Amino acid sequence: MRPTQAIEAGFIDPVDDANAVFRQVLDALAHPGRIVEIARPTRVPRGSLGRAAIGVAMALADFETPVWLDEAAAPAASHLRFHCNCPIVSKPDQATFLLAAEPASVPALATLPLGSDTYPDQGATLVIEVQALDPDGSLSLEGPGIDGRARLGVAGLPAGFWEARRALAALFPRGIDLLLTRGDLLVAVPRTSTVRGS
Amino acid sequence: MTQTLAGYNFAYLDEQTKRMIRRAILKAVAIPGYQVPFGSREMPLPYGWGTGGIQVTASIIGRADVLKVIDQGADDTTNAISIRRFFARTAGVATTERTVEATIIQTRHRIPETPLRAGQIMVYQVPIPEPLRWLEPRETETRTMHALSEYGAMHVRFYEDIAHHGRITTTYDYPVIVNDRYLMRPSPIPKFDNQKLDMSPALQLFGAGREKRIYAVPPFTKVKSLDFHDHPFSVESWDAACSLCGSTTSYLDEVLTDDQGGRMFVCSDTDYCRSRTS
């Protein structure tokens, strides 16, 4: 008899796959606005999160990092709990990683863990599955990791999202680090990036 | 020697430790110059032999990487050889002495003369990560000073240097401001190398094993050496050229050749020097 909620396989090679995903995320974070491709794991659980978003959680989450999932991402909970051993929390302000499959369901950014002035590294990492990523869009990014200026297009974020993020800039070094995903694609917008446009 | 050791995970560290260090590295990159605490592990080398750098390298290295390790610019010193061999044995990765071939360069106290390129990762071994430590011994206080960007004490120290000696006497581990925000120790590189930190196309990671801190300078990030308008930052210069390759632009070591006062100046960066002579 099949269990009602079969769990998909995780990384085929836990060592090399986790390393490959991490290096892509590191590359993305070191070059904000650069779109990288994450091709592992080979299978993703039910729900609306793509391979890049699931890969990030599988490579980086464990028992030390509470994970929050929005409603559309919730079907991945048993998968992540099984493979990562991570606590799944219902309150976004308790999470280290927040994964949202539906951009409109992202809680107000200012209510998320931003870290403190003495420990800004405790600011959360927010992963949002968006509708499209475009290397030549209407957003303009400046800051560490960017040689001059980078362009980026993101479709599917709710109106006012970038304004809300801009409002956090005054709180630096407190802040949120953003990973935007679309299927296998991922782009990072760390708290140091100045984003213009919408 | 290329035989990998059985019974160890790839690159020695267990996967949970790597994950914890990877998370610290990602936050370090997101907050340039800020020291992220991490759970430093015991390594099969004593503290002071680069355990911070080794843990960072072990957490980022993949099978396709090519590793270079230098100690004071040289590839053939004890520390460099043993770390290179450590990763050849525990990860089976390719190693090199050529700066241009390396994807990861772990370093003790130098930045190669050959300009770094995009995609390369520098890993610095850091003995003391806290730039304010000799001015304020309490971690709780230095942490608050960083939170408030309160770096006046360091300026006062430099001012006292100038009042006493007529110049800023710090010659290595010369403090820098990263991205106009955090005061950072660049590890004990000569101040000659500080200019290479600024707007480098490579990613630069710093690991302090004993002090359990990781910090980073992302590519294309402003790194400014601390100074005063009337006492601008300046680097070492030599009257001599390298005795082996004739370079007048590289960092030179003074080598005593006998007990009659004989001496020669040679490049500290052995790969750079060799590439110019061969």
Angstroms from B218 CA to nearest CA on chain A: 5
ipTM of this predicted complex?
A: 0.96
- Considering the domain boundaries, does residue A2 fall inside one? no
Q: Hey, is the C-beta of A22 within 8 angstroms of any chain B C-beta?
A: yes
Q: Hey, is the C-beta of B66 within 8 angstroms of any chain A C-beta?
A: no
- Considering the domain boundaries, does residue A138 fall inside one? yes
Three-state DSSP at B38 gives coil
B62 vs A23, A60, A143: nearest CB? A23
pLDDT at residue number B217: 98
Q: What is the mean pLDDT of residues B23-33?
A: 98
pLDDT at residue number B1: 45
B34 vs A25, A120, A146: nearest CB? A120
User: Would you call A125 and B26 a contact, using CB atoms and an 8 Å cutoff?
Assistant: yes
pTM, entire model: 0.96
Quick one: A119 exposed, middle or buried, by C-beta within 10 A (0-12, 13-18, 19+)? middle
Secondary structure percentages of chain B, helix, strand, coil, to 5 = 30, 20, 50
DSSP for A32-72, written as a single string:
TT--EE---SS---SSS--HHHHHHHHHH--TTS-EEE-GG
User: Would you call B60 and A26 a contact, using CB atoms and an 8 Å cutoff?
Assistant: yes
Domain range enclosing A149: 14-196
pLDDT at residue number A45: 84
pLDDT at residue number A3: 52
User: Would you call A60 and B22 a contact, using CB atoms and an 8 Å cutoff?
Assistant: yes
CA gap B84, B104 in Å, rounded = 11
- Considering the domain boundaries, does residue A22 fall inside one? yes
DSSP for B223-264, written as a single string:
EEE--BTTB-------SS--TTT--SSS-EEEEE-SSSS-EE
User: Where residue B5 falls among pLDDT bands split at 50, 70, 90?
Assistant: confident
- Considering the domain boundaries, does residue A119 fall inside one? yes
Which residue on chain B is closest to A193 by alpha carbon? B30
Number of domains in chain A: 1
Reported as type and span, the H/E element at residue A155 is strand A150-155
Best B9, B31, B183, B217 member to test A by mutation, with max A CBs in 10 Å, is B31
CB B69, CB B93: distance < 8 Å: no
Best B19, B90, B184 member to test A by mutation, with max A CBs in 10 Å, is B19
User: Would you call A172 and B23 a contact, using CB atoms and an 8 Å cutoff?
Assistant: no
User: What sign results for the dihedral spanned by CA atoms B11, B12, B15, B21?
Assistant: negative
Q: For B209-226, how does the pLDDT look when each residue is reduced to its tens digit (9 = 90+)?
A: 999 999 999 999 999 999
Counted residue by residue, chain A has a size of 198
pLDDT at residue number A154: 97
- Considering the domain boundaries, does residue A181 fall inside one? yes
CA gap A124, A176 in Å, rounded = 5
pLDDT at residue number A6: 78
High-pLDDT (> 70) share of chain B, %: 99
Residues near A30 by beta carbon (within 8 Å), at least 6 away in sequence: A145, B29, B203, B218, B219
CA gap B14, B17 in Å, rounded = 6
Chain B residues whose CB is inside 8 A of the A146 CB are: 220
DSSP for B81-99, written as a single string:
HHHHHHHHHHT--EE-S-T
Which residue on chain A is closest to B145 by alpha carbon? A118
Which residue on chain A is closest to B14 by alpha carbon? A15
User: Which residue positions in chain A have pLDDT lower than 70?
Assistant: 1-5
pLDDT at residue number A47: 78
CA gap B41, A105 in Å, rounded = 39
User: Would you call B220 and A23 a contact, using CB atoms and an 8 Å cutoff?
Assistant: no
User: Would you call A177 and B220 a contact, using CB atoms and an 8 Å cutoff?
Assistant: no
- Considering the domain boundaries, does residue A135 fall inside one? yes
pLDDT at residue number B258: 94
Q: What is the mean pLDDT of residues B85-100?
A: 96
- Considering the domain boundaries, does residue A122 fall inside one? yes
Q: For B223-261, how does the pLDDT look when each residue is reduced to its tens digit (9 = 90+)?
A: 999 999 999 999 999 999 999 999 999 999 999 999 999
User: Would you call B218 and A30 a contact, using CB atoms and an 8 Å cutoff?
Assistant: yes
Q: Residue A163 maps to which CATH number?
A: 3.40.50.11310
Which residue on chain A is closest to B178 by alpha carbon? A144
CB A47, CB A78: distance < 8 Å: no
Chain A residues whose CB is inside 8 A of the B144 CB are: 118
Which residue on chain A is closest to B25 by alpha carbon? A26
Positions of B annotated as catalytic residues are: 33, 242, 245, 267, 273
Q: What is the mean pLDDT of residues B170-194?
A: 97
Quick one: A2 exposed, middle or buried, by C-beta within 10 A (0-12, 13-18, 19+)? exposed
Whose structure tokens read 């005061």?
B183
CA gap B153, B162 in Å, rounded = 14
Three-state DSSP at B168 gives coil
User: What sign results for the dihedral spanned by CA atoms A191, A187, A33, B35?
Assistant: positive
Tokens of B140: 């709780």
User: Would you call B179 and A192 a contact, using CB atoms and an 8 Å cutoff?
Assistant: yes
For residue A190, give the nearest of A180, A177, A179 by alpha carbon.
A177
CA gap A191, A109 in Å, rounded = 12
pLDDT at residue number B215: 98
A121 vs B9, B15, B34: nearest CB? B34
> How many other β-carbons are positioned within 10 Å of the β-carbon of residue B244?
15
CA gap A35, A105 in Å, rounded = 23
Phi, psi values for residue B61, rounded to 5°: -70, 140
Tokens of B112: 């190669």
CB B73, CB B35: distance < 8 Å: no
